[in-house]
């Protein structure tokens, strides 16, 4: 139903020219066009970061929540009205740093929400500190002598939690990312798309260049998306070759499927004008 233009706001994004976030926004809008999403029935929920500004620039409902908290908000919106199309976005700091707990628990819960992480391996909005996915040794404002920790591996974590849809995209390959987002939305269940997103201002290491030279597509390499062990091996491939695409997919009941409370109609449609509690009062008499 919506055209790309209808989804486009009058205000232009304030991201740095060349930032990978532009590609992600474009891909999201194209995917929404492709799946015929009604803008009024679509909610984009964000955390805080450069990535977190995204909902401002797409003509749907939006909720710009707190740093690291997009997922709890998004899940509750979906549970309250499962006819909505709910998409959560956020940064790597947002989702894998301060939001790590929600991330893991959302995956095991399997509410039908899509999670697109702008993984630029840096804290962008706070002007360049190390992020949970920054590479070891990386020098940033907060690690001027080089980062000591090993990065987290969001794909491996998702597999360890049996997330029902685990994928990685690249902000520099919009058509591919569009496909992934469409697949994710069509998938019934929680979907993670970790997107490699160059931050042209603060990440001098993981540039577009860097990724162009390294990435290859899983779907072109005969990868079996139903095999968790192989997906797990692939998750650790990082260096000369970096896989993108769908790592793993599994059909699982969604959380909503198991709620008799909403099997007839969404929570939001249920009347509350005059809830009869006489039975409850009786219980206490």
Partner 1 sequence: MTEFSWKIGGEAGYGIMTSGLIFGKAFVKSGLFAFDTNEYPSLIRGGHNTYTVRVCDEPIFSHSKKIDILVALTKLAVEKHKDEISENGFIIFDQSVFSVSNEEVRDDINLVPIPLTEIATKSGGQAIMRNNVAIGASFALVDYNFEHLVDTINGIFGGKKGEDIAKTNINVAREGYNYVERNFPKFLRSIKISAKKFAKRMYIIGNEAISLGAIRAGCKFYSAYPMTPASSILHFLSSKENDYNIIVKQTEDEIAAIHMAIGASFAGVRSMTGTSGGGFSLMTEALGLAALTETPLVVVLAQRPGPSTGMPTHTEQGDLKFAINASNGEFPRVVVAPGDANECFYETFNAFNIAEKYQIPVIVLTDKFLAESHSTIDPFLSKQLKIDRGMLLTDEKAKQIKDYKRYENTATGVSYRSIPSQIAMFKAATDEHDEYGRLSEEQSDRITQMDKRFRKFKVLESEIDGIKIYGDDDADITIISWGSTKGPILEAMKIFAKKGVKVCFIQVLYLMPFPTTKMKLLIEKRKNKIIIENNKTAQLASLIKEHTGMDIDYKILKYDGRPFTPEDIYEKIDEVLTFAKL
Ligand X SMILES: Cc1ncc(C[n+]2csc(CCOP(=O)(O)OP(=O)(O)O)c2C)c(N)n1
Under the rule (CB under 8 A), what is the footprint of a copy of itself?
A: 97-101, 104-105, 108-110, 132, 148-153, 156-157, 159-162, 228-229, 232-233, 235-236, 252, 255, 258-259
Interaction between residue 169 and partner 1 (CB under 8 A): no
Q: How far is CA 108 from CA 122, 161, 165, 198, in A?
A: 26, 6, 11, 29
The β-bridge relationship of strands 242-249 and 165-170 is: antiparallel
CB of 191 to a copy of itself, least distance (A): 16
Q: What is the largest CA-CA distance in the chain?
A: 73
Distance between CA atoms of residues 210 and 242, nearest Å: 10
Residue the block writes with tokens 């995204």: 54
- How big is the site for ligand SF4, counted in residues (CB under 6 A)? 11
Residues 6+ apart with CB under 8 A from 271: none
Interacting partner of 255 out of ligand SF4, ligand X, Mg ion, none (Cβ under 5 to 8 A depending on kind) = none
CB of 118 to ligand X, least distance (A): 5
Residue of the chain from 2, 23, 91, 95 that contacts Mg ion (CB under 5 A): 91
Interaction between residue 249 and partner 1 (CB under 8 A): no
Query: Binding segment for ligand SF4 among 4-12, 15-23, 100-108, 269-277 (CB under 6 A)?
Result: 15-23
Q: Per-residue x/- mask for ligand SF4, residues 172 to 201, rule CB under 6 A?
A: ---------------------------xxx
Interaction between residue 205 and ligand SF4 (CB under 6 A): no
Q: Which C-beta is closer to ligand SF4: that of 50 or that of 177? A: 50
163-195 burial code (b ≥16 CB/10 A, e <16): bbbbbbbbbbbbebbbbbbbbbbebbbbbbbbb
Q: Report which secondary-structure segment, H or E, holds 246.
A: strand 242-249
Interaction between residue 95 and partner 1 (CB under 8 A): no
Interaction between residue 198 and partner 1 (CB under 8 A): no
Interaction between residue 197 and Mg ion (CB under 5 A): no
Distance between CA atoms of residues 185 and 206, nearest Å: 28
Burial of 272 (0-12, 13-18, 19+ CB in 10 A): exposed
Interacting partner of 126 out of ligand X, ligand SF4, Mg ion, none (Cβ under 5 to 8 A depending on kind) = ligand X
Residue of the chain from 24, 32, 43, 50 that contacts ligand SF4 (CB under 6 A): 50
Interaction between residue 162 and partner 1 (CB under 8 A): no
Residues 6+ apart with CB under 8 A from 144: none
Interaction between residue 60 and ligand SF4 (CB under 6 A): no
CB of 44 to ligand SF4, least distance (A): 17
Closest C-alpha to 25, from 4, 2, 3, 49: 4
């Amino acid at each position: 139903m919506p055209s790309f233009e209808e989804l486009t706001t009058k205000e232009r994004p304030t991201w740095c020219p060349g930032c990978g976030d532009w590609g992600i926004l474009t891909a999201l809008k194209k995917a929404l066009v492709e799946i015929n999403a009604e803008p009024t029935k679509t909610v984009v929920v964000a955390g805080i970061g450069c990535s977190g500004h995204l909902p401002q620039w797409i003509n749907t409902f939006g909720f710009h929540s707190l740093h690291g908290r997009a997922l709890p908000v998004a899940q509750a919106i979906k549970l309250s009205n499962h006819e909505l199309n709910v998409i959560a976005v956020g940064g790597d700091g947002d989702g894998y740093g301060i939001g790590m707990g929600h991330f893991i628990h959302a995956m095991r819960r399997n509410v039908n929400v899509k999670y697109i992480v702008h993984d630029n391996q840096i804290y962008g909005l706070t002007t360049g500190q190390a992020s949970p996915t920054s590479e070891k040794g990386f020098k940033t404002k907060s690690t001027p002598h080089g980062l000591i920790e090993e990065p987290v591996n969001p794909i491996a974590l998702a597999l360890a939690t049996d997330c029902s849809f685990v994928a990685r995209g690249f902000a520099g390959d919009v058509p591919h990312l569009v496909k992934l987002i469409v697949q994710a939305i069509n998938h019934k269940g929680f979907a993670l798309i970790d997107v490699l997103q160059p931050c042209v201002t603060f990440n001098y290491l993981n540039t577009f260049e860097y990724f162009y030279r390294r990435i290859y597509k899983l779907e072109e390499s005969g990868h079996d998306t139903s095999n968790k062990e192989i997906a797990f091996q692939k998750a650790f491939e990082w260096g000369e070759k970096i896989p993108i695409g769908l790592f793993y997919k599994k059909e699982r009941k969604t959380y909503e499927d198991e709620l008799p409370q909403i099997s007839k109609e969404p929570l939001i449609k249920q009347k509350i004008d005059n809830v009869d509690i006489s039975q409850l009062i009786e219980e206490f008499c």
